[in-house]
């Protein structure tokens, strides 16, 4: 084998071979069917496959992709192309898929002379390259005239065929990688939705069992009663039970909609601004209870997240901190961020009543579970907060000491 810079030809090639380098110029056949990023990635792999000392790839505004695989000199920088995309020779080779020989760039009208004289190129050989997604040409160029004779055609046609085959294989590999990624994401999404439906069924059975039993009991009492007044008394108790069941159903529907909304629109938001809005909406409670709120977002103030979810999360956590404040001290709430394992985390910490997590930890984020007597306690806020955080791929956890306070940490998945 005889090596001409980065190109390898057979032993019977002429010894006068003075290949300056070669370049693959590929035109997108179907831009909509091929992502430019995938094509450029394929081009870089091709350059490495050809064993070049320098390899680069870029897409022009004319939808031409240049894949350099050559030992490029200082006179031929990677950010410029020695083959102009609109020249006649290139169009003939790429569009008609036929070889084009340029014996001397100074005398051939099919090329732009100025593109070749500065880097010292005098003769060219363009060979068509086809693959599944693109059509293009490999261009071999010499620094002497009349070097692109017919004696090279067989050798470089073979190289063009090898590149075509390699590109097809690379595109197949990229397509398989994309399908595997899509399948993995689909399986993950279906798995999450299956788990959410299991949770929904459990919550429905757990929360509606008692009111349904209550209705059944009232029905039997009505049937067994012979007194009209007594019957009216039992009937009057049915509406509150139905109203309670309706509330639970609405809460479950809302939570399920959140959990199934895996593609909620994210936007770049400032946590400090969202916190200010929530504090403003709670101003009456905060002033009446003398609550002190401080914040520190120096670790991270901006995240990509749905506004409606971050507002709801902050509102629920702050409302709980105010609601379950300790009666014997000034209520203090600290809102801050920190980074853990590359993820942005939000902490809301208070000095309130605290929660006995050893006793109630497994019920903390369940629907309709309350741990302190309060007229406004419904056990919905933390349930919805967890649903919103997990719908976005994040996690929420709590630590607490009874009588001292509670800390909630939200670990955001902002991808």
Question: With respect to CATH, is domain 2-178 assigned 3.40.50.1820?
Answer: no
Percentage of residues in the chain with pLDDT exceeding 70? 52
User: CA 176, 180, 185 angle in degrees (round to 5)?
Assistant: 150
35-44, 50-59, 369-378: which has the minimum mean pLDDT? 50-59
Q: Which pairing describes strands 134-142 and 123-130: parallel, antiparallel, or unpaired?
A: antiparallel
Determine how many CB atoms are found less than 10 A away from the CB of residue 235. Answer: 14
Dist CA 173 CA 117 (whole Å): 39
**Residues β-bridged to residue 304:** 268
pTM (2 decimals)?
0.45
12-21, 278-287, 301-310, 401-410: which has the minimum mean pLDDT? 12-21
Query: Which phi and psi (to 5°) does residue 22 adopt?
Result: -145, 160
pLDDT surpasses 70 at 131: no
Report pLDDT for 30.
30
Report pLDDT for 256.
62
For range 19-44, the mean pLDDT: 43
Question: With respect to CATH, is domain 267-411 assigned 3.30.565.10?
Answer: yes
Contact 371, 356 (CB under 8 A): yes
Q: Compute and round to an integer the Cα radius of gyration of the chain.
A: 36
* CA–centroid distance for 350 within its chain: 34
For the chain, the domains span 2-178, 186-260, 267-411
- Please give the residue that has the higher pLDDT: either 80 or 97: 97
Dist CA 65 CA 40 (whole Å): 7
Instruction: Report helix, strand or coil for 25.
Output: strand
- pLDDT digits 0-9 by tens, 247-304: 666 666 666 666 555 556 788 999 999 999 888 888 888 888 899 999 999 999 999 9
pLDDT surpasses 80 at 410: yes
- Please give the residue that has the higher pLDDT: either 41 or 148: 148
Dist CA 353 CA 355 (whole Å): 7
Report pLDDT for 186.
74
pLDDT surpasses 80 at 306: yes
Fold identical between 2-178 and 267-411? no
- pLDDT digits 0-9 by tens, 200-212: 665 566 556 667 7
- pLDDT digits 0-9 by tens, 331-377: 999 999 999 988 899 999 999 988 877 876 566 666 555 555 554 54
pLDDT surpasses 50 at 228: yes
Percentage of residues in the chain with pLDDT exceeding 90? 12
Instruction: Report helix, strand or coil for 396.
Output: strand
């Amino acid at each position: 084998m005889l090596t001409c810079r980065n190109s390898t030809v057979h032993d019977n090639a002429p010894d006068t071979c003075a290949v300056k380098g070669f370049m693959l110029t590929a035109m997108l056949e179907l831009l909509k069917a091929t992502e430019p990023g995938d094509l450029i990635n394929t081009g870089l792999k091709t350059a490495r496959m050809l064993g070049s000392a320098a390899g680069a790839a870029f897409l022009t505004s004319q939808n031409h992709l240049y894949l350099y695989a050559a030992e490029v000199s200082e006179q031929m920088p990677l950010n410029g192309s020695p083959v102009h995309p609109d020249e006649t020779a290139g169009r003939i080779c790429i569009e008609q898929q036929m070889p084009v020989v340029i014996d001397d760039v100074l005398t051939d009208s099919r090329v732009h002379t100025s593109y070749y004289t500065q880097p010292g190129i005098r003769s060219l050989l363009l060979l068509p390259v086809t693959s599944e997604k693109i059509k293009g040409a490999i261009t071999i160029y010499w620094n002497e005239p009349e070097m692109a004779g017919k004696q090279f055609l067989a050798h470089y046609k073979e190289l063009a065929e090898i590149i075509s085959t390699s590109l097809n294989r690379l595109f197949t590999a990229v397509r398989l990688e994309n399908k595997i990624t899509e399948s993995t994401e689909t399986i993950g999404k279906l798995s999450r939705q299956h788990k959410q439906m299991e949770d929904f069924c459990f919550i429905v059975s757990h929360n509606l069992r008692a009111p349904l039993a209550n209705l059944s009991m009232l029905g039997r009492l009505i049937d067994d009663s012979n007194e009209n007044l007594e019957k009216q008394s039992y009937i009057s108790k049915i509406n509150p039970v139905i109203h309670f069941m309706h509330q639970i159903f609405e809460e479950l529907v809302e939570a399920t909609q959140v959990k199934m909304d895996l593609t909620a629109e994210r936007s770049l938001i400032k946590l400090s601004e969202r916190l200010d809005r929530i504090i403003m909406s709670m101003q009456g409670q905060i002033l009446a209870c003398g609550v002190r709120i401080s914040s520190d977002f120096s670790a991270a103030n901006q995240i990509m997240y749905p506004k409606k979810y971050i507002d709801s999360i902050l509102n629920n956590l702050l409302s709980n901190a105010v609601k379950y404040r300790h009666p014997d001290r000034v209520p203090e709430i600290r809102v801050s961020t920190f980074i853990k394992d590359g993820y942005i985390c939000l902490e809301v910490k208070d000095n309130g009543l605290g929660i006995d997590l050893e006793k109630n930890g497994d019920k903390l984020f369940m629907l309709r579970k309350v741990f302190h007597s309060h007229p406004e306690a419904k056990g919905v806020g933390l349930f919805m907060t967890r649903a919103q955080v997990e719908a976005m791929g994040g996690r929420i956890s709590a630590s607490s000491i009874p009588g001292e306070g509670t800390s909630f940490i939200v670990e955001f998945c902002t991808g």
